[in-house]
Amino acid sequence: MTRLFKLINFEFNRIFKILLVLLISVVTIQMVGTVKISLVYLNEIQHALEMGMSIEEIHTNYGQISFQRVTGSLWFVGPIFLGIVSVLFYIFLIWYRDWYGKNTFIYRLLTLPTERINIYLAKLVTILLMTLSFVSIQIIAMPLEIKLMSWIVPEQHYIHISAREALTNHIELSFIFKSTFTEFAIWYGIGIISVAMIFTGILFERSYRLLGIGLGIGYIILSVLLFLMPVWIHIMLDDYFYPDELYKLFILSALVVFALSTWTASYLLRKKIRV
C-alpha cells in the first residue's frame, strides 16, 4: 500500500511541472478572454452612446452583459478543451514514454519489489488527479473571472450569475460539470474505468506488439459491449427495467469492466509484458 502511494506520488511528480503550466495557461487565457470580451462590449456601448442611443435602447439592441458571454466564447471553452486533449494524450504517453523515452524506465518499474499492478493503478490515479485538477482549477477560477468582469463592466450593464449557474447551465460543458455529487461521482467513475480499459488495451499492445494492437482494440470493443450489456438485456426483455434500475445496472457493468481490466492488466504485466 505504501509502495502504491509512493508510486502514485512518483508518477504525479513526473507530470507536475507540465500540469502546472497547463493549469496556469487555462486560467490566464480565460482571464484575458474575460477582459477582452468585457472591453469589446463596453466599446459597442460607447459607440452606441456616441450615436445618441439611450441606455434602454442600448440594452434592447446589445443586451446587458453577464459572464455567460465569456463561457460561450472560445476564450473560455478553448482552454477547457486544451485540458481535455492533454489528458487524452497523456493516457497514451504515460505508458509509451517508459518504453520509448530517452531512458527505458520500464526496466526499473517492472523490477520494483511490488505487485506490478501497482504501476497500472498509480498511472490510473495520476490520470484521475490530472483530470480533477483541471476541473477544480476551473471551479476555483470561475468566481475570480466573474469578479474580474464585474470590476470592468459598470453595474448598470452587468447581470450577475454565479459560477454554479454558469457551469451547470452550459450545454457544451454539461459532460464536465455535473450538478449533483452523485452524478459527478458516477460520471467520473465511468470515465476512469474507461481509462483503465484503454490502459489494458495499451498493455495488450506492449505485450504482443503488432498482434497486440488487434488484441487491444478487440479487448476495448469487448469491454464496451460488456458495459452496454444492460441495454441488450433491456431490449431483449422488452424494456424490462425502470430507468433508475437500468442506471444501477450500468454502474454494475462498469465495475465488472473495471475488475476485468485490472485483472487482465495484472496478468499481462506478470506474464506477458516485454521491455
Partner 1 sequence: MIEVRNVIKKYGRKRVLNGVSFTANKGEITCLIGINGAGKTTILNAICGLTPIHGGEILINGKPLSKQTFEQVSYIPDTITMLPQMRIQDVMDFMGDFYDSWNTDRAEQILEFFKLNRNDKIASLSKGNTAKANLLMGLSLDVDFILMDEPFSGIDIFSREQIAEVFTSHLIEDRGVIITTHEIQDIEHLIDKAVLLEDGVVRMEFLTEEMREKEGKSVVDVMREVYQQ
Partner 2 sequence: MKKYWKMLSMMLVIFLGIGTFYIHYALAVHSYPNFKIETVEGDPEMVENLAITAYYGVLPYASPLQITNQGSFYRAQESFFDSMKSMPYSYDRKIRDEYKHVLRGIHHGWNTYYEDDQYLVIVSLNTSGYYTQPIREMEIRYLNKESKKTVKTISHRLNRTDFATIHDVQVIGNNIIVFTIGWDYDYEQEKTTVFADTYTFNMAEAKFVEHVTILSDQREHIELNPLYESVHWRPMPYIVYRLKEENRGVERVQANVDPEAPVNETEKDVQEAKEPINDLYAYHVETGTIKRIELPTELKSLEVNLFDGTHLYFVSSSNDHTEVKVFNISEERVIHELTIDNGPHEDINHMFVDNGLLYVLEQENPPSTNASLRIFNMETGEVVYRGEIVREDGKSEEDDVLNVYEINFRE
Q: Which residues bind partner 2 (CB under 8 A)?
A: 8-9, 12-13, 16, 19, 129, 132-133, 135-140, 164-165, 169, 179-184, 186, 237-244, 247-248
* CB < 8 Å & 24+ apart, contacts of 59-62: 59/157
If one asks whether residue 113 binds partner 1 (CB under 8 A), the answer comes out as yes
If one asks whether residue 47 binds partner 1 (CB under 8 A), the answer comes out as no
Residue 65 forms beta bridges with which residues? 158
If one asks whether residue 207 binds partner 1 (CB under 8 A), the answer comes out as yes
If one asks whether residue 92 binds partner 1 (CB under 8 A), the answer comes out as no
If one asks whether residue 10 binds partner 1 (CB under 8 A), the answer comes out as yes
Question: Can you tell me the distance from the alpha carbon of 231 to that of 67, in angstroms, rounded to the nearest whole number?
Answer: 40
If one asks whether residue 248 binds partner 1 (CB under 8 A), the answer comes out as no
CB of 161 to partner 2, least distance (A): 9
Q: Mark residues 156-185: x for contact with partner 1 by CB under 8 A, - for none.
A: ------------------------------
Inter-residue contact 66 to 159 (CB < 8 Å): yes
Binding partner of residue 14 among partner 1, partner 2, none, CB cut-off 5 to 8 Å per kind? partner 1
Q: Which residue, chain included where needed, has cell 463561457?
A: 71
Binding partner of residue 115 among partner 1, partner 2, none, CB cut-off 5 to 8 Å per kind? partner 1
SS (H, E, C) 101-125: CCCCCHHHHHCCCCCCHHHHHHHHH
Calculate ∠ Cα 29-163-76, nearest 5°: 25
